[in-house]
Structure 1
Amino acid sequence: MSTFLLEIVTPERKIYAQQVDMVSVKGADGELGILAHHIPLVTPLKVAPVVIKVNGKKDELAVHGGFIQVSKEKVVILAESAELPGDIDINRAKAAKERAERRLANKKDHMDHRRAELALQRALARIEVRQHRD
């Protein structure tokens, strides 16, 4: 199987750079599976885990929005933020999920509601990535 370079970059640093077999992301229009020699594209990403396959093993990272750029040479994920499984505090993520759910149940103003939805999505992505690691 052919491999390609995957880079995951945030404004702070490069989180990931490795030759991979496949990467799966949730784009604005649905889930995308990228293999070597994929057609070039750029699309926004949703807040969701990114699944990476390398030598038959599966890795996951929590990616919080951004874009994916697929070119002939490599795939770059430009993320607003991204977290490796070992960097995720599962108790903190569960507490953030509960806070967001309480805010959503409150339904006071529209701006707070949108922020709570995003906080819930980030917490769920963190929990999923961390639980798959354990």
Structure 2
Amino acid sequence: MKLTIVTPLAIVVEQEIDSLRAEDASGSFGILSHHAPFLTSLTLSILSWRVANAERFCAVRGGVLTVADGGDIEIATREAVVGENLATLDADVLARFQSDAEEEKTEHVENVRLQLNAIRQMISRLHRSANTGEFR
């Protein structure tokens, strides 16, 4: 079975594997060869896969996992970092991904506030000019 992990900028992993472990909102799951077709949304997590007796890891910042009819696995994610050491990925990369996600949430909230304030100002100006018979 072939594993392909892609980001918007690069193909991060493309290799034959024996098995894969991943995590979505419902929890952790595994995929072996001849798996049924499958589609899920990944959480911010660390993927692991086996090639012969070696285990490899990749921290992903969410994404979509697809298992095709032939058992090939494709993962599209915003950001991915491959590593040999699980402790390093867990401590450094996953922590950075989580802080980036928190910053994005904060920025989103601020953008929504700005948009709502702009809408409120437009509505208040429309209400003032509605009584005067002006169009603008």
TM-score in terms of structure 1 length: 0.63
| 1:47 CA drift (Å) | 0.5
1:56 matched to 2:53: yes
CA separation in 1, counterparts of 2:48 and 2:66? 16
Structure with greater Cα Rg = 2
Distance in 2 between the 1:79 and 1:35 partners?
Answer: 21
1:17-60 alpha-carbon deviations (Å, 9 max, x no partner): 00000011001221110000101011000001000100011010
* Matching residue of 1:68: 65
- Deviating beyond 4 angstroms after TM superposition, the runs of 4 or more aligned structure 1 residues are none
What's the offset of the Cα at 1:72? 2.1
The one-letter amino acid paired with 1:56 is N
Alpha-carbon distance in structure 1 between the residues aligned to 2:25 and 2:8: 21
Q: Structure 1: any 5+ residue segments left out of the alignment? A: 105-110, 116-134
Shift of 1:83: 0.5
Match of 2:23 in 1: 26
The size of the alignment, in residue pairs, is 97
Alignment partners' CA distance in 2, 1:39 and 1:70: 7
Instruction: Report the aligned-residue RMSD.
Output: 2.9
Q: Percent identity?
A: 27
Matches for 1:78-93 after TM superposition, within 5 Å? 78-85=76-83, 93=92
In structure 2, the partner of 1:120 is: none
AA of the residue aligned to 2:81: E
What residue number does 2:42 align with? 45
> Normalised by the size of structure 2, how large is the TM-score?
0.62
SS in 1 for 2:92: helix
Question: 1:93, CA displacement in angstroms?
Answer: 3.0
Aligned positions of 1:96-111 closer than 5 A: 100=99, 111=105
